[in-house]
A and B are shown apart, each in its own frame.
Chain A
C-alpha cells in the first residue's frame, strides 16, 4: 500500500493525535475546555481543530495548496500572542512526524516505502519553516500596530497644531500580508 493510502486509512487517529499535540502545549486544567466544540465560545480550540484537520487533508492532496498557509495563519495568529517562545509556538508541526511514526512506523517498514516517507517528512519540515515565517510576520504585525497606534491617535492633534505629517510608507508594509496570503509552502529539499 502506498504511504498516501496508509495516511488516509489512519486519518482520524492521526489528526486527533496531532491535534492533541497542539492542545498539550496549553495547561492541563484547560484541556477539557479546549476540546469543547463551540466555534464562538471556544475559538482557540475550534481554530486548532479545524486547522489541523484541514492542513492534514491538504497535505495528503499532494499539491502545494494555497489553503495550507491560511490555516496555519489562523492558528499562528493566536499562538503568536500567547505565552510561547518562538520554538514552542511552532514546535507542534514536528509533532506530526512523531505521531505518524508511531501510528505507521511498522507498516512503513513492512511496505518498504521509507523513501516515500522520507519525502513526506521533508514536506513536514517545509511546513515548519512556513509556520515560522507566519509566526514572525504576526510578531512583526504586533510591533507595527504598537508603533502606528500612537501615530494614528495623535495625528489629528498634530494636524491641528500645524505639525501634520503623513505616516511614512514603510510603516504600512503594503503587500506584507499579501505575501503571506499568497505564500507558498516552503520547499525544504
Chain B
C-alpha cells in the first residue's frame, strides 16, 4: 500500500506522527498502575488524564448556578487550560471535604475501610465498555481517598505516596472532574463489595465538592434551575403542561374512540399523581403518559395532576444533598395544598431513589398538618404498607395489584407482535428492590417475554449508560461505552428469541436506550410499561381498535380496505 504523503495530513490537535502498522498495534495506552498503589501509576495525572471530547458534558452556564445561588458561577470549559477557579480553590475543597467527613458517617467509613480487594474492579459498565482502569470503581474512589489520606490521616501526611496519599493539585482536580462525571451513581459496584462500600456515594460527595467551585455540568445544572423556577426540568409553564396532556387526549381518542377528562391542581382529590416531565414531553415516554391517562380513566380514579409538582425527577440529587431536598420539597407541599390522601408516582428511576431512600425522612416536616396517610388502593383495598413512611406508591406496585385482583380487562394478544425483554433500572432495582411487579405486569399484558441473562438483570442490572445527569448529547461516546454491557445483553435475547421491544420503567432510560439500541441493536425499540398496559387494556366503550398508541397497526386487526 502506498504511504500517504506527509503534507496531506490534517493535523490533529496533538502532535501528529506517521505510524507504521507495526507501531499501531503496539500498546496504545499504557498507564502502569497497581491496585496496591505503591507504584506511582494511578497517582499520575497529566499528561495521562487528557480530557477528551465525547467523554464529558458541557460546563454549567453561569445563569443556571445563579438561579439557585450556587457558588462560583462563570463561563468556563473543561477543554480550556484555565478553568477560572477561585484563587483559594484548594482551601474550599479541603474545607468542604472536612465538613462532609464530619456530616456523613458513611463518607468517613468509605474513606477508611476499603481493603482494595478488587471485587468491584470489573463491575462498572464504564470500565467494562472502555477497559480504562481509571473507571474501576475502586480507582474512582481512590481519586478522593488519596486526597483524604494526604490531608486527613497521619500515615498519609507522613509517608505521602507510600501510604497512597497525594497532593491536591490542579491536575488532580481535573482528573476528579473527568472521572466523577463518568460515574452514573448506579451502585452496581456496591453489590459486589464485601464491605458494602457504595462508590456512588463517594461520587456524590466528589460532585458536591466540585460544585463548591462551580464545576457542574449544564445537563444537570439546567434542569435544576428550570425545576426550581417552573417545577419541571424542561422549564415548561403550567398552561403548556396542561395543553400537552390535552393534546394526548386527542391522540387517545383517535385510537380508542374514548375521551378522557383528567383534572389539574384539583383540591380534595384522593390521589396526587406525579411523573417525570420526560413522560409528558419526550417520545417515547409520551405513550407511557397516555397509558397513565387511560388507566386512571378506566378505573375512575379520584386522581389529580399538578402543574406545579410537574416533575418527578430530581437532578438536585446529582448536585448536592441540599439541592435534592430543596427540589423534592414540592411533592409534599403540593400534596398538602391539594389535601390529597396519598401520592402515586409514575415510571422513573432516580426519582424513586430519592423518594424511597430519602424523602420520608428528608422532607416529612413539610407534610406535617397535611391529609396524607398510609396509601390504600381505592380499587382493591390493598394497603401499601411499604410506603407507610413516604405515602407515595410506585405505579407498577399499584398496577400489579390491580391485575392481581382482576380489576383490569386485558387482552394481551394486542401485544402479540411484541417480543419483550425488561431492563431493570439501576435505581428501582438497587434502590428499592422492585423486581417482580414490572415482570408480573409485562407477563399479563403480552404473551412473549424473555428475560436477559442472569448477571445483567435485577440487582446486578447494567446501567443504560446515561444516568445521573450524563444523558447529554455531547458525551455520546461515553454513553455508548457505558451502555455496551446492557446493549450486549439485549442483543443476545434479540438474536436468541427475536426480542424486538425493550421495556423499562424509567424516564431517563426512555431517553437514553433508544439511542443505545439504534447504535448497537437497531432492531429493538424501547417502550415504557404503561404504554404496553394501555395497548392491552379493553376500555369501556372503545371502538374497534386497529392501531396502537403509536399509530402502528395491531396484529390481525389491520383496517380492512
Q: Which residues of A contact B (CB under 8 A)?
A: 21, 24-30, 33-34, 36, 39-44, 47, 77-78, 81-85, 87-88, 91-92, 94-95, 97-98, 125, 138, 141-142, 145-146, 149-150, 152-153, 155-157, 160, 177, 188
Contacts and interface: CB of A to CB of B under 8 A. Distances in A.
B15 interface: no
Contacts of B27: 24-25, 28
Contacts of A138: 519
B7 interface: no
B32 A41 contact: no
Contacts of B25: 21, 24-25, 91-92, 94-95, 98
Interface of B: 1, 12, 19, 21-22, 24-34, 41, 52, 54, 121-122, 127-133, 243-244, 247, 281-283, 286, 453, 455-456, 473-474, 476-477, 480-481, 484-485, 488-489, 492, 511, 514-515, 518-520, 522
Given A40-B453, A78-B484, A153 B52 contact: no
Contact of A29 (B28, B32, B477): B32
A25 B22 CA distance: 12
B481 A27 contact: no
A144 to B, nearest CB: 8
B122 A152 contact: no
Contacts of A42: 122, 128
A82 B477 CA distance: 7
A160 B133 CA distance: 47
B25 to A, nearest CB: 4
B282 A156 contact: yes
B25, B41, B121 interface centre (most CB from chain A within 10 Å): B25
Contacts of B121: 33
Nearest to B246: A160
Contacts, number: 141
A40 B41 CA distance: 29
A78 B483 CA distance: 10
B131 A44 contact: yes
Given A146-B476, A149-B515, A156-B281, A83 B29 contact: yes
17 contacts: A24-B26, A25-B27, A26-B131, A27-B31, A27-B132, A28-B32, A29-B32, A30-B131, A40-B456, A82-B130, A83-B130, A94-B25, A141-B518, A142-B480, A145-B519, A146-B473, A153-B282
A67 B125 CA distance: 28
Nearest to A94: B21
A34 B131 contact: yes
Contacts of A43: 128-129, 484-485, 488
Given A29-B133, A41-B128, A83-B28, 6 more contacts: A29-B31, A30-B131, A42-B122, A44-B128, A82-B481, A94-B24
A28, A43, A95 interface centre (most CB from chain B within 10 Å): A43
B430 to A, nearest CB: 17
A171 B146 CA distance: 47
A27, A47, A92, A142 interface centre (most CB from chain B within 10 Å): A27
Contacts of B247: 160
A44 B481 CA distance: 10
Nearest to A147: B473
B1, B28, B32 interface centre (most CB from chain A within 10 Å): B28
B249 to A, nearest CB: 12
Contacts of B282: 153, 156
Given A40-B488, A141-B519, A146-B473, A88 B24 contact: yes
Nearest 3 A/B pairs, CB to CB: A91-B24, A94-B21, A43-B488
Nearest to A138: B519
B484 A44 contact: yes
Nearest to A77: B520
Contacts of A40: 453, 455-456, 485, 488-489, 492
Contacts of A188: 1
Contacts of B243: 160
A19 to B, nearest CB: 12
A27 B29 contact: yes
A146 to B, nearest CB: 5
A36 B133 CA distance: 15
Contact of A98 (B22, B130, B281, B522): B22
Contact of A87 (B19, B281, B286, B456): B19
B133 A77 contact: no
B511 A160 contact: no
Contacts of A24: 25-28
Contacts of A94: 21-22, 24-25
Contacts of A152: 283, 514
Nearest to B234: A157
Contacts of A44: 128-129, 131, 484
Nearest to B522: A177
Nearest to A18: B25
Nearest to B41: A29
